[in-house]
A and B are shown apart, each in its own frame.
Chain A
């Protein structure tokens, strides 16, 4: 069973449209992170959400952490071709000796067509 379920798996939209992608789980988390991975590159951290109900904005990207801290959403306003990429959510687990591991969802692959 996947710890984090991301939906949709694939999304293809026209430039200028709005979109929302989701990251869901049955578990409660102390924090959740969103990463974006461009083709041929490693994932890059976008944001960390910590408090239930928290909303963070990063230019045209809006991130929300669910009230129960089990789920999160990413909303993009007026998508641009530069938003194309794989969007991953990740949650951390303490693995001892001061180390944390991140477990990731399978991601949403977004294509923004000019």
Chain B
């Protein structure tokens, strides 16, 4: 089925370890996003990529880096994980045609625990 695929689904890290969350979409969307979801805080944008070759910071970028590897793939890297980065991470993609915004397609999430 077409959509957004995230790997891994679950991960436990020790403080200070690094890891990369992978995201791939097969809908030929130009824009891709990384959000984190925390209880009581809702979905907050970490980074986004308007198109291949561009990335920009969102609301909560500190402690993260991203790479738009090609049109399909957008990865999120934690260089030195901290307990405050324990969260559920969602990747999403979207396409806009003129004034018609077609909404986001989300992946199923990566549940990350930093101990």
Taking Cβ atoms with an 8 Å cutoff, the residues of A that contact B are 31, 33, 35, 40-45, 48, 88, 90, 92, 95-107
Contact residues in B for A101 (Cβ distance below 8 Å): 33, 45, 48, 58
Interchain CB contact under 8 A, A92 and B50 = no
Taking Cβ atoms with an 8 Å cutoff, the residues of B that contact A are 4, 30-31, 33, 40-43, 45, 48-51, 54, 56, 58, 90, 92, 94, 96, 101, 103-109
Rounded to whole Å, the gap between the CB of A5 and the closest CB of chain B is 11
Out of A31, A45, A99, which one reaches B51, CB within 8 Å? A99
A42-B106, A43-B104 as given contacts; A107 in contact with B42, CB under 8 Å: yes
Q: In the complex, which residue of chain A has the Cβ closest to the Cβ of B105?
A: A45
Contact residues in A for B109 (Cβ distance below 8 Å): 40-42
Q: Which 4 residue pairs of A and B lie closest in terms of their CB atoms, listed nearest first?
A: A99-B50, A42-B106, A106-B42, A97-B50
CA distance A19 to B55 in the complex (A): 41
Apart from A42-B90, A104-B42, what 8 extra A-B contacts exist at CB < 8 Å? Answer: A43-B104, A48-B103, A95-B56, A96-B50, A99-B49, A100-B96, A103-B45, A106-B41
Contact residues in A for B48 (Cβ distance below 8 Å): 95, 99, 101
Q: In the complex, which residue of chain A has the Cβ closest to the Cβ of B106?
A: A42
Contact residues in A for B94 (Cβ distance below 8 Å): 100, 102
CA distance A25 to B50 in the complex (A): 26
Rounded to whole Å, the gap between the CB of B44 and the closest CB of chain A is 8
Out of A31, A98, A102, A105, which one reaches B104, CB within 8 Å? A102
Out of A48, A106, A107, which one reaches B101, CB within 8 Å? A48
Interchain CB contact under 8 A, B108 and A41 = yes
Interchain CB contact under 8 A, B33 and A42 = no
